[in-house]
Amino acid sequence: MTAPKKTPDRHYDFRSMNKWFAWSSLALLLITVWMVFEDYAKPWKRLQAEFRELERQKLAREAESERQRLNAEEIARVQAEIDAERARLDEQEAELEELRDRLADLDDKVYEADVESRTTKSHLDTERYEYDAALQSGNESRIAAAARAVEERRATYIENRRTLEAYTVERAAVQAEIDRKLAGLREDEGRLAELRGDLESLETR
């Protein structure tokens, strides 16, 4: 006696449905891949890519041109500052040279005034000695003449000392001015060195 045929739980064949689902999914995948490649291979997309590349190159050239223009302007500005700084240094060096000449002249004047003052002081000491001798002699005319000589020499000595002091003060002022200008000159030379470094950096960009 044969066993009765088992009635399926569904009204369709599930295995056959799985096969159709697999084949349709594969077909859908292939169609999707084909659509992607077909869309990518369109001629207008290649032209669009070429246009974008040309646009990028154009922008790069414009950016490089602008950079070079700005760099040239910066170089010109720094060069102008260097020229101005160099002119200022030349002017200061010329002023320093004049001050050094003036200082040398004042050194000579101070030396001459000091020698003159010392000589006058020596003569004044001699005439004071002669005045003392005249006092001891009791000769009125000799005393009067010696007194006049002492007073005249004293006046000359005072004038010599004033001249020496004036030249000494003036020399000190000139020396102070030289020191001040030398300090400013060193600062300007440092600034000039910095500007030349900036110019070298700009030229090697």
pLDDT score of 116 more than 60: yes
For residues 37 and 171, the answer to whether their CB atoms sit within 8 Å is no
Residue range 28-67, pLDDT digits in tens:
888 888 777 766 666 666 667 777 878 878 777 777 776 7
pLDDT at residue 189, rounded to an integer:
82
The mean predicted confidence, pLDDT, of the chain is 82
Q: Report percent pLDDT > 90 for the chain.
A: 35
**67-77: pLDDT as tens digits:** 777 677 787 88
pLDDT band at 105 (very low <50, low <70, confident <90, very high): very high
pLDDT-derived band at 79 (thresholds 50, 70, 90) equals confident
Q: What long-range pairs does 60-67 form, CB within 8 A, spacing at least 24? A: none
Query: pLDDT-based confidence at 88, cuts 50/70/90?
Result: confident
pLDDT at 1 over 70: no
